[in-house]
Copies of this chain bind each other. A is one copy, B any other.
Amino acid sequence: MSIAALTEADDGPRSKRPAILAAAVECFGEVGFEATKWSEVADRVGIGQPALYHYFESKTHCLLTIMRLGLRNSDDAFRAAVAESGTAHDALRAAVRAAFEISPQEVQQNRILQSNIALLAGRRSSEREEAERQACRKLVARIERNWADLVQHGIDRGEFARHDPLIMARSLLGLVVSVWRWYRPDGSMELPSIAEFIGGCCARMVGDGAPE
């Protein structure tokens, strides 16, 4: 269980927050968010409900935090991957590879994120939930912008065909995240092969530029 992916800068060494998030990822991944009992999360961490409520005011608050951290990790991984790339095609391949070079816990986190993404559409009445929702929405917009910038860069270099960069970015992202709907760790295709397959699809989608 990788705790780093669920840790934040202001979590002290004695904070139970990352452990609660890890247990919640397990539970939501196993039986879904709706069917998970909040008390089950406390039991797995070995804490009481009051301690749980010290960190999260509700199961939804915990879910939104998991979603935000998943988005934060995707954003970080994208930036690290493209920073080292030369051509736009290299950057695109590296970005897709980074999306799939993740731990089983992060796979669960991504599945939870995609399954509950509709939660980001509607305003929350709780202030802390609403703060997490707003942070998630900002990250979604930033990730779309990352990919759109990459597409624009490829067009400017004459590597990619001319398409609306934002619509192309959303389409590339839509394809990448669609994997979390059908991928299973015990399935017939492993993550490196999936990354290779999806990377090829993305490379063909952006098309060939016509340098002058």
Instruction: State the A residues within 8 Å of B (CB).
Output: 31-32, 34-35, 115-118, 121-122, 163-164, 167, 170-171, 173-175, 177-179, 181-182, 189, 194, 197-198, 201, 204-205, 207
B residues near A198, Cβ cutoff 8 Å: 171
A175 to chain B, nearest CB (A): 5
Query: B171 to A174, Cβ gap below 8 A?
Result: no
B residues near A118, Cβ cutoff 8 Å: 32, 115-116
Query: A171 to B178, Cβ gap below 8 A?
Result: yes
Interface centre among A31, A173, A177, A205 (most CB of B within 10 A): A205
18 cross-chain CB contacts under 8 A: A31-B122, A32-B118, A35-B122, A115-B117, A117-B181, A163-B197, A164-B197, A167-B189, A167-B197, A170-B178, A170-B182, A171-B178, A171-B201, A174-B175, A175-B178, A177-B178, A204-B204, A205-B205
A178 to chain B, nearest CB (A): 2
A159 to chain B, nearest CB (A): 15
Measured CA separation A178–B32 after assembly (Å): 22
B residues near A182, Cβ cutoff 8 Å: 170
